[in-house]
């Protein structure tokens, strides 16, 4: 059984064990992170006072390559949350067959309360506290909740100063001027769109008019809404922390995005009717996309879900308890480790380019992302069909088998299992 640091993701792993060829010793290795570090980050505030923020970095596994994972700034960040997300990143990278392990980092802070200067000092302070653990061949941070390319620019610059070298491959999600790649900001939504397009006919049939509700109208949710709208889907409802908006005839997504860009929130929308946020999750739609917070669909509301399928664009939006209820009702779930893997895939492209001193065009990046997402989506769907297991289980089994193959290739477990002499 995985360590309780990985409480949620560990349950996903346990559910896949009966369908995997994993050796017992490989499972033992996956129980604990390679490293788990908590640091204190002192920041001089604009008023001259000193504040100290807790910072974290968990590197779960590096068997398949250097650890990879975002850094989030949130008042709710904890070691437990970061560890669970690092665990999930290990499997996400393996599922997409990327040469990475999993990591995650964060700072317990409300970034909305910081000035730009304070945010920069905090970003640089996080790097200063953890620089010995980072690097292009060891652990590569990226943007996450409430961090963006500007934060990565500050962090990359600070790391270069500390190491007295130019190491652009040490961070991904950077501004293009610092070695970032075009399309990184839309990579999560682009990846999710490719997954939906590939599995749409199998999940909801070939109806000419398909309906979707999206919980979360931030970067990923709003861009996915635009892509689906442009592809002919009827986006009937969207929500953010300020409001939920419904129009059964289809929302004007471009107008809603302009409204949010100008006002900073969905509240007071130019079209549609405002509804309660919980109502969105219970709408009778073909596809429900939770793209906001973890645990949005849980044991308390899973029976209210009327969508034919769910696509997890957020990390962990459906709890294991909700999974059982949804499965019993025939609601298929496209898991987060597949649906939102576009971000880490494009981060890999950036890392490769930075190491080679190369620059790709936006077209090449988009083409490579589509190819990788479609390929791994088909493999998950085929495994699900062959073994008669849900898509979520199939995704975790495929990732687990790849991890097991890499771990056993180090020799110890396969040697003992095949009768070698133990020293």
The SS3 assignment for 62 reads coil
Give backbone dihedrals phi and psi of 320, rounded to 5 degrees, phi first. Answer: -60, -35
Could you tell me the end-to-end alpha-carbon distance of the chain, in angstroms, rounded to an integer? 27
Helix/strand/coil for 111: helix
Cα–Cα distance for residue pair 322/267, rounded to 1 Å: 29
Q: Which of 41, 47, 35 is nearest to 5 (CA)?
A: 35
Residues in contact with 420: Cβ distance below 8 Å, sequence separation at least 6, in sequence order: none
Q: Would the CA dihedral through 261, 267, 270, 271 be positive or negative?
A: positive
- Cβ proximity of 110 and 141 under 8 Å: no
- Rounded CA-CA distance 310/213 in Å is 10
CA dihedral over 378, 380, 383, 388, signed as positive or negative: negative
Q: By the 8 A CB rule, do 126 and 119 touch?
A: no
User: What are the strands, taking DSSP E only, across 157-279?
Assistant: 211-215, 234-239, 244-246, 273-275
CA 347, CA 69: separation in Å to the nearest integer? 9
Question: How many Å is the Cα radius of gyration of the chain?
Answer: 21
Q: Where are the beta strands (DSSP E) in 136-282?
A: 139-143, 211-215, 234-239, 244-246, 273-275
In angstroms, rounded to a whole number, what is the distance separating the alpha carbons of residues 360 and 358? Answer: 7
Determine whether 104 is an active site residue.
Answer: yes
Phi, psi of 179 (to 5 degrees): 105, 10
Distance, CA of 326 to CA of 397 (rounded, Å): 20
Q: Considering the candidates 104, 260, 364, 371, report the single residue annotated as catalytic.
A: 104
Rounded to whole angstroms, the Cα distance separating 351 from 172 reads 7
Active site residues: 104
């Amino acid at each position: 059984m995985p360590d309780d640091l990985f409480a949620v993701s560990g349950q996903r792993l346990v559910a896949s064990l009966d369908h995997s060829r994993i050796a017992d010793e490989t499972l033992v290795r996956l129980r604990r992170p390679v490293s788990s570090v908590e640091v204190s980050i002192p920041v001089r505030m604009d008023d001259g006072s000193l504040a100290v923020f807790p910072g974290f970095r968990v590197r779960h596994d590096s068997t398949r390559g250097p650890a990879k994972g975002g850094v989030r700034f949130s008042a709710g960040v904890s070691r437990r949350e970061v560890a669970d997300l690092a665990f999930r990143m290990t499997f996400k990278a393996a599922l997409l067959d990327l040469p990475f392990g999993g990591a995650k980092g964060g700072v317990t802070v409300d970034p909305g309360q910081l000035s730009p200067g304070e945010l920069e000092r905090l970003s640089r302070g996080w790097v200063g506290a953890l620089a010995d653990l980072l690097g292009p061949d060891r652990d590569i941070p990226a943007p996450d909740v409430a961090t963006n390319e500007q934060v990565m620019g500050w962090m990359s610059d600070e790391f270069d100063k500390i190491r007295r070298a130019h190491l652009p491959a040490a961070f991904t999600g950077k501004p293009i001027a610092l070695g970032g790649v075009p399309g990184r900001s839309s990579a999560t939504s682009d990846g999710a769109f490719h997954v939906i397009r590939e599995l749409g006919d199998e999940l909801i049939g070939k109806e000419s008019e398909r309906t979707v509700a999206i919980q979360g109208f931030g970067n990923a949710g709003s861009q996915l809404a635009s892509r689906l709208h442009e592809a002919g889907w009827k986006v009937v409802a969207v929500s953010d922390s300020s409001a939920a908006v419904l129009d059964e005839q289809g929302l004007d997504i471009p107008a809603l995005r302009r409204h949010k860009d100008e006002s900073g929130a969905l509240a007071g929308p130019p079209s549609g009717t405002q509804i309660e946020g919980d109502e969105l999750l219970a709408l009778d739609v073909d596809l429900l996309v939770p793209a906001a917070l973890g645990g949005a669909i849980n044991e308390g509301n899973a029976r209210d879900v009327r969508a034919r399928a769910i696509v997890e664009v957020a990390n962990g939006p459906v709890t294991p308890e909700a999974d059982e209820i949804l499965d019993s009702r025939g609601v298929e779930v496209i898991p987060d480790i597949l649906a939102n893997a576009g971000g880490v895939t494009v981060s890999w492209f950036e890392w490769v380019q930075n190491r080679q001193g190369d620059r790709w065009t936006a077209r090449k990046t988009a083409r490579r992302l589509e190819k990788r997402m479609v390929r791994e989506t088909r493999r998950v769907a085929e495994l699900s069909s062959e073994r008669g297991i849900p898509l979520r289980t199939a995704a975790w089994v495929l990732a687990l088998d790849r991890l097991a193959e890499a771990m056993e290739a180090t020799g110890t477990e396969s040697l003992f299992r095949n009768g070698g002499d133990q020293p």
